[in-house]
Structure 1
Amino acid sequence: MTLRVSIVSDSTGETAESMLHAALAQFDGLDVTIERHRSVREVAQVHGIASDFYQRGGHLIVSTLVKSDVLAALVADTKKYNLGYVSMMGPLVEEICRLTGRQPMQRPGVNRRVDGDYLRRVKAIEFTLRCDDGQSPELMTAADIVLFGVSRAGKTPLSIWLALKGYAVSNVPLLPGVAPDPRIWNVSVEKRVGLLISAERLREIRCERIVAMGLDPQRAAYADIDKIRAELDDARSLMEKLQCRVYDSTDHSYEELARNILEDLKML
């Protein structure tokens, strides 16, 4: 199944998309398509978006709308078309109202401060998605962090967490029997980070992925425990040669790993 998500925002939609990617990072191997509707500030716009999304087989609408009439129209339409719906702003705004007794301005776009930090995060996310899983190796040396690891060790979700903090990440897959791009040796040593995981946990993750593809994990070398152990040994050996700072994703959340990496690299 491909989960189809539509972001509806009265501003750029960057906030919702960043949070969405952070949430999706918790689901390994999930197939997702994301579309974004910016500057949605009229009820008529909402009706058109919801109707079209329903007709195209959409599943979930995520919004950061604040104008009450536009928001109410979107909620009504998601119920009408039986679409999933999450408001990234509504519950937080309501709780602040309850605690302070004050009412929100309902002014679209006020959360978008185009300052240096905001632009840095946007650029970091764009860079990281472009350099995911070995893509755009020519940009590797321009990254703030270069992340090495075997398939399904958690490189992509960890990269996204780091990008949300404003750091551009290139993640490089270490594949059995395949020499890594020689440009890895041009990356500054202080930028090199290795990600390991226990063989048993990696096998579980890979088996889940194989089953999701409709295949038998018992017949796949990709999930063979002995081959996985050998693959991890090779990865560990290369990380030592690269002088990587090495982290283990077995029992740690991606948020925790990201914080530890940034603290060790003195980037926080």
Structure 2
Amino acid sequence: MTLRVSIVSDSTGETAESMLHAALAQFDDLDVTIERHRSVREVAQVHGIAGDFYRRGGHLIVSTLVKTDVLAALIADAKKYNLGYVSMMGPLVEEICRLTGRQPMQRPGVNRRVDGDYLRRVKAIEFTLRCDDGQSPELMTAADIVLFGVSRAGKTPLSIWLALKGYAVSNVPLLPGIAPDSRIWNVSVEKRVGLLISAERLRELRCERIVAMGLDPQKAAYADIDKIRAELDDARSLMEKLQCRIYDSTDHSYEELARNILEDLKML
């Protein structure tokens, strides 16, 4: 199944997209398509969005709308077509109102006052997506963090978490029998991070992936426990040669791993 998401924003949609990617990082192998409706600030602009999205097989509408009449119109249309709907601003604004007794300005785009931190996060996310899974190796030395790990260890979701904190990440897959790009040795030692996982947990994740592809995991060397153990041993050996800081993703959330890495690298 492909999850189809429509972002509806009264500004650029970057806030909703960043939060959406953070949520999606919790799911492995989720096929997602994202479309965006920007600068939606009047009720008249809302009409037709949900209906058209429904007819094209849409599933979930995510918004950061702040004007109550525009938000209400979008919610009503989403319910009409039985679409999933999440307001990323509404519940938080309502709770602040309740606690403070203040009323919101309902000023579209106010959260998009561009500052240094915002621009840094946007650039970090763009860089990280461009350098995912060994892509764009020529940019490796420009990364804030270079993450090494075997397939299915969790490199991509961890990279996204780090990018959401504003750090540009290049993640490098360690594949059995294939030497990684030689430029890994040009990366500053303090940027090198290794990600390991238990062989048993890795086998579970790989079996899930194989089944999702309609194949039999019992016949796949990719999920053979002995081969996995050898692959992890080789990965650890290379990480040690690279003098990586090594972390284990077996029993830790990506958020926790990201925090530990940034604390150890003194980036928090």
Q: Deviations over 1:201-243 (max 9, x none)?
A: 1111111111112221111111111111111011001101111
Q: Deviations over 1:126-183 (max 9, x none)?
A: 0001100111111101000000000010000100110011000000001111110111
**How much does 1:112 deviate?**
1.4
- The question of 1:120 aligning with 2:105 is answered no
Q: Distance in 2 between matches of 1:31 and 1:228?
A: 25
Secondary structure of the equivalent of 1:218? helix
Q: Distance in 2 between matches of 1:23 and 1:4?
A: 14
**How much does 1:48 deviate?**
2.5
Q: Deviations over 1:57-92 (max 9, x none)?
A: 111010000111110111011111111101101111
**How much does 1:101 deviate?**
1.6
- The question of 1:36 aligning with 2:27 is answered no
Q: Distance in 1 between matches of 2:234 and 2:113?
A: 46
Q: Distance in 2 between matches of 1:63 and 1:235?
A: 42
Q: Distance in 2 between matches of 1:231 and 1:99?
A: 53
**How much does 1:94 deviate?**
0.9
**How much does 1:44 deviate?**
2.3
State TM-score, norm by structure 1. 0.98
Secondary structure of the equivalent of 2:172? strand
Q: Distance in 2 between matches of 1:124 and 1:188?
A: 18
Q: Deviations over 1:30-78 (max 9, x none)?
A: 1111112211112222122212211111110100001111101110111
Secondary structure of the equivalent of 2:48? helix
Match in the other structure for 2:237: 237
Secondary structure of the equivalent of 1:203? helix
**How much does 1:113 deviate?**
2.2
**How much does 1:12 deviate?**
1.1
Q: Deviations over 1:103-130 (max 9, x none)?
A: 1111101111211111001000000011
State TM-score, norm by structure 2. 0.98
Secondary structure of the equivalent of 1:17? helix
Q: Distance in 2 between matches of 1:144 and 1:267?
A: 10
Q: Say which is worse superposed, 102-111 or 166-175, in terms of deviation.
A: 102-111
Q: Distance in 2 between matches of 1:45 and 1:200?
A: 51
Secondary structure of the equivalent of 2:178? coil
Q: Distance in 1 between matches of 2:141 and 2:129?
A: 16
Secondary structure of the equivalent of 2:47? helix
Secondary structure of the equivalent of 1:33? strand
Match in the other structure for 2:205: 205
Q: Distance in 1 between matches of 2:176 and 2:45?
A: 50
Q: Distance in 2 between matches of 1:94 and 1:248?
A: 39
Moved beyond 4 Å, runs of 4+: none
**How much does 1:99 deviate?**
1.2
Q: Distance in 1 between matches of 2:60 and 2:186?
A: 43
For these two proteins, the number of residue pairs brought into alignment is 268
Q: Percent identity?
A: 96
> Could you list the runs of 5+ residues in structure 1 that have no partner in the other structure?
none
Q: Distance in 1 between matches of 2:191 and 2:113?
A: 29
Q: Distance in 2 between matches of 1:218 and 1:7?
A: 40
Secondary structure of the equivalent of 1:5? strand
RMSD, aligned CA: 0.9
**How much does 1:184 deviate?**
0.7
